[in-house]
Structure 1
C-alpha cells in the first residue's frame, strides 16, 4: 500500500521524538559534582534541535566561526550583537581584582570599551571578589570548555547594551560588599553591594542569555529591572532556587512599561519554587519552556503586565495547593490584565487562569519572529538546556 508523503514524514518525526525522549529520561540528569547539564543522545546524526540551536550547532567549524552565534537569537533580544565584529579576547587567568584587573582575567576583558568576543583557554572555576560589571558589546562564550562562576558575587549589567552570555554555569552567588569596582578602563565607582543575583540586568537593552546553568543563589537567578528591554533568555537550565526570574523593578516603577522580554526553550528543573518569571508592567512572551513540578507557581506578576504563555509544558507538583500555573499579586482589578495561554500542555492537575480582552501577540519584527511549537514538543526542544559539550571540529551535538 502506498502512503502519502506527509504520513511518512510524520511517522519519521514521531520515531525521532520517541528516541530522543527515551534518551532524555535515561540520561538527562544534572550532575551536581561537575555542575554541567550535558545530555547524551544515541542518534546524534538525527538530532532534532530548536530554532536557535539549529542556527549554529550543526556547523563543525563553530569554534572558528564563533561570532556566527550572534545571528542566532530570536525574540526581543534578537538584536544583541555582543562582541560581533570585535577581536577575540582569551581568558587565561581565573583570579580577580575588582579595582585593577590583570590582563588575561575575565574582569579585564568585560570592562574594555571596544567590542570583544571573550572565550576561555581551558576549563575554569572563578570566584569573584565583587560583582562583575560588564561593559557594552561583549560576548562571554564558554563553548568548548567548562566555565563556572560561583561562591561569590556574580554578573551585573548596568546601563549597557549588546551583551551575550552563553554556555557557562553560574551558581551559589553571594551578595557583593560595598566597595570600589571598575566598570570601564577609565572609571572606578563605589558600589553599594550587590544582592547575590546570578545575572542582574539593570537599565540595559539588547541582552541575550543562552545555554547557561543557574542555581542556588542568594537572591534571584535572573533579574531584569529598571526599564531594561529587548532581552531574550533561552536554552538555560534553572534548578534548586526560590525566586527564579524577576522582570520589573517594583510596583509603582512605571518606567518598566517599555520592557519586552522573550523567555524561550528553557528548562525550569527540580527544586524551583516561584517566579518563572514574575512580571511587572512590561510584556513577556513565555514560549516552549519546560516546567518540572514548580513548588508554588510558575508565572506570576503585578502592576498590569501583559503575558503570553505559548506552547509550554507545565507539570504541577503533587502538592494539591500548588496546581495553578499563574499568580497575580494584587488587591483586585486583575481581570483586565492580558494573560493568555495558547498551545500549552498541562499535567498532574496544572492549570492556567487567563484574563483580559483583545490580542496580546508579541508583535515581533521580521528578524525577531519565530513560531512557537505545540507544548507536546517541549521535551525535545529543551532537552539540551544548559551548557553544551562542544568539541572543536565537530558539530556541537
Structure 2
C-alpha cells in the first residue's frame, strides 16, 4: 500500500508539532501549552472551543464531545494553538475559522460544511499570519472559499484534506492591489479535490508547491496562475470530466507594475487522465518557476499511480481516529 507522509504522528498526541512537510513545516501549534478540553458544542461560553481559541497562552485543544458547532460569527484563533479533532467528529457550520495576525497554528481532523454569508470561508488566513498547518480536514459548501490565504500570510501547508461540493475552492493571494502577497509561500500535498469547480488553487503573486494531489472532474479549470504567480506542480493526478483544461493563466496588472502579467506553472511528473489537457504558458517560461529545494530539503513524493489515487480517496479528509495518548515527560530526581 502507498505510504503517506508523517504516518507516525498519531503515536502520541503532540507528535504532530513540527511534522508538516513544505512551507508550513515550522508550525508547532500549542506544543508547549496546557491541554484544553472542549466539553461544550456551544458557540461560546465555558468549555467551548471559542473560549479556548481566544486565550493568549499556548494550548493544545482536544474535544471530549462529538457533534456540530454552529458558529454565529467567525471563530478567531490566537497564536500557538492546536485544534486537534482526533478522537471525535466535529463539524463547523454557519461561519468558519479566522486566522488573523497569528502564528504557529495546527488545525487537524475537522469538518467544515454549510458556511453562509458574504466573504464567509471555511478557513480564512489573513492578514499577516504564518507557520500554519491544516491537516486531514474535510471542507465543502461555503458561500465564499473553503480555504483563503491572503494579505501577506505565508508559510502554510495544507495536507491530506478533502474538498467537495464547492465552486471557488482555494484562493491564495488577494487581488492585484495587494502586492505584499509576493511573500506568500504555500505547500499543498496529498489532497483530494473531488469535483470542485475551480481554484485548486488559484494563486496570485506567491509561490505554491503542489505534489501528490488528486484533482478530478473540475468544471472550469484545475489550477490557475494569475499575476506573477509561480506554481510547481509535481507528481499530481489530474482526471478530467467534461472540462479538459487543467492549467489556466489569467493576466492581471499589479498595482505597482507597468505591464500586466500572468503567472507560470511548471509541471513535473504529473499524470493527465481522461483527456485532461495541460495548456501552454502564454507569457512566462517554466524556468521562471522556483524549485522547492530552494526552500526545504525533503518532502515525501512518489509516482502518481493508481494506488496513490485509491489511497487519497480513503485517507484524505476527516478520519475516524482514536485520540492519541498524551505522553507526560517526567524527570528522575
Shift of 1:103: 2.5
Rounded Cα–Cα distance in structure 2 between residues aligned with 1:335 and 1:103: 51
Q: Does 1:161 align with 2:103?
A: yes
- Who is 1:247 aligned against? 172
**1:360 paired residue among 290, 296, 300:** 290
**Once superposed, which parts of structure 1, at least 4 consecutive aligned residues long, lie more than 6 Å away?**
331-336
Shift of 1:252: 2.6
Rg bigger for which structure?
1
Shift of 1:118: 0.4
Q: Does 1:284 align with 2:208?
A: yes
Shift of 1:393: 7.2
SS where residue 172 of structure 1 aligns?
A: strand
TM-score, normalization by structure 1: 0.75
RMSD of equivalent CA atoms: 2.0
**1:391 paired residue among 299, 306, 322:** 322
Structure 1 portions without partners, runs of 5+ = 1-15, 17-47, 60-64, 176-193
TM-score, normalization by structure 2: 0.89
Q: Does 1:103 align with 2:34?
A: no
Is the CA contact 1:338–1:360 (under 8 Å) kept in the aligned structure 2?
no
Deviation track 1:336-381 (CA, whole Å, cap 9, x = no partner) reads: 8431101111111112225314252123555x62142122253155
Structure 2 portions without partners, runs of 5+ = 254-258, 326-333
Deviation track 1:107-145 (CA, whole Å, cap 9, x = no partner) reads: 000011110000000212100111101000001000011
SS where residue 140 of structure 1 aligns?
A: strand
Rounded Cα–Cα distance in structure 1 between residues aligned with 2:191 and 2:260: 27
Is the CA contact 2:91–2:111 (under 8 Å) kept in the aligned structure 1?
yes
Is the CA contact 2:228–2:261 (under 8 Å) kept in the aligned structure 1?
no
Shift of 1:324: 1.1
Aligned CA distance change for structure 1 residues 282 and 365 (closer, same or farther; 3 Å)? closer
Worse overlay, 349-358 or 107-116 = 349-358
Aligned CA distance change for structure 1 residues 208 and 384 (closer, same or farther; 3 Å)? same
SS where residue 29 of structure 2 aligns?
A: coil
**1:74 paired residue among 21, 37, 60:** 21
Deviation track 1:257-306 (CA, whole Å, cap 9, x = no partner) reads: 11000010000013x10000000000000111001211111100311100
Aligned CA distance change for structure 1 residues 336 and 223 (closer, same or farther; 3 Å)? closer
Q: Does 1:258 align with 2:187?
A: no
Aligned CA distance change for structure 1 residues 212 and 126 (closer, same or farther; 3 Å)? same
